[in-house]
Amino acid sequence: MVWTLGVLLGLAVLAAIGLQIAISRDGPVVLSAVDRILGGDGGAELKAKIAVGDHPDQKVLVWAPENTAHVWAPENTAHARMTSGTALRPVLLFVHGGSWNSGDPESYDFVGRAFAEQGFVVVLSGYRLGEAGKYPGMIEDTASAFAWARQEIAQYGGDPQNIVIAGHSAGAYNMMMVALESRWLEPHGLSPKDIAAVVGISGPYDFLPLDSESTIASFGHVDDLDATQPINHVSENSPPMLLLHGKKDTTVGVFHSRNLSGLLQEAGHAPRLELYPEKDHTDPLVSIAAPWRGRRDVVPKIAEFVRQTTASR
């Protein structure tokens, strides 16, 4: 009996190690598969996959609770309205990471399921990668995705006046620039004031001098590098923010979120800074997938923040 238990324990340990290796190699795809198997659909449903530009990376996927009505509206109608008596849901627009050279919103089903289960409409946003998306392309695409959501998300039960933007790693950079610098939304007739709130997960906000292949490839051609840094665009008009970061993050140091939080406070804001002593760069993202999200507080903290900030608008 003891021998049998020991074998089972050993197999469990090997399985856990194998899962961690798989996540490290192709994290989002593996997380989505594990989440689907262990967490089910959570009452969430993929409502649409839509091209929002000419490049294949310029696309959005819309997730929502399965009982959310889909309201068809005439083409080019600005804000479709839900059927009488049905409330529009807060929207979480999520931008994936991947060092600006990899990633696909279609690999992030687990994010869609996790937050649709919380009662939100979720937009998973892509952007051009590599040479096609180097600065300022990746930011322009994120701004365009937000503009698409403002224009169209009511058709899927989402409230266009209550869109919270979130992102992990490189995606956190993209959406933070859109939230802090008005010029990205101006071509769409919008401004950072139209963003309900921001959730930054393990984001790079203060990375000069350029010292990695990914930052050099994405920003090395820029003359005014200071202009590429989110910390240089903090103002009194910045939206409410929740910043999550692992203290053991060696990919994007925790100082990025600390520095940004400090500057936001100096500008008169009250950002929420959540630091995790035992988490590294990917742990906060992993915590969004089943089975981890039931044991960790990342999803509840983000969901609470979304509810609080959208309810106050």
The pair of structure tokens assigned to 74 is: 């005439």
- Written in H, E and C, the secondary structure of 168-179 is ECHHHHHHHHHH
Question: Tokens 């695409």 — which residue?
Answer: 141
Q: Does the bond joining 230 to the residue before it have cis omega, within 30 degrees of 0?
A: no
The answer to whether the CB of 252 falls within 8 A of the CB of 171 is no
Q: Which pLDDT score is estimated for 312? A: 84
| 36 within 8 A of 107, measured Cβ to Cβ | no
pLDDT attached to residue 251: 97
User: Would you give per-residue pLDDT tens digits along the chain (313 residues)?
Assistant: 544 444 333 333 333 434 444 444 457 999 999 999 988 888 999 999 999 999 999 999 999 998 876 655 444 334 444 443 468 999 999 999 999 999 999 999 999 999 999 999 999 999 999 999 999 999 999 999 999 999 999 999 999 999 999 999 999 999 999 999 999 999 999 999 999 999 999 999 999 999 999 999 999 999 999 999 999 999 999 999 999 999 999 999 999 999 999 999 999 999 999 999 999 999 999 999 999 987 789 999 999 999 999 998 8
Q: What integer pLDDT is reported at residue 74 of this predicted model?
A: 41
Q: Which two tokens stand for residue 266?
A: 């100096």
Can you give the chain as a three-state secondary structure string? Answer: CHHHHHHHHHHHHHHHHHHHHHHHHHHHHHHHHHHHHHHCCCCEEEEEEEECCCCCCCEEEEEEECCCCCCCCCCCCCCCCCCCCCCCEEEEEEECCCCCCCCCHHHCHHHHHHHHCCCCEEEEECCCCHHHHCCCHHHHHHHHHHHHHHHHHHHHCEEEEEEEEEEECHHHHHHHHHHHCHHHCHHHCCCHHHCCEEEEECCCCCCCCCCCHHHHHHHCCCCCHHHHCHHHHCCCCCCCEEEEEECCCCCCCCHHHHHHHHHHHHCCCCCEEEEECCCCCCHHHHCCCCCHHHCCCHHHHHHHHHHHHHHCC
Question: Can you tell me the distance from the alpha carbon of 265 to that of 116, in angstroms, rounded to the nearest whole number?
Answer: 31
The whole model's pTM is what? 0.89
* Predicted pLDDT at 295: 79
Burial degree of 41 (CB within 10 A; 0-12, 13-18, 19+): middle
Distance of CA 186 to the CA centre of its chain: 22
Residues 114 and 43: their CA atoms lie apart, in Å, by 10
**In angstroms, rounded to a whole number, what is the distance separating the alpha carbons of residues 35 and 288?**
9
pLDDT value, residue 10: 36
Tokens matching residue 53:
């530009």
Which candidate, 180, 194, 190, places its Cα nearest to that of 260? 180
Q: Which tokens sit at 63? A: 């997730």
Distance between CA atoms of 77 and 23, rounded to whole angstroms?
A: 42
- All structural domains of the chain, each given as residue ranges with its CATH number in brackets, are 34-311 (3.40.50.1820)
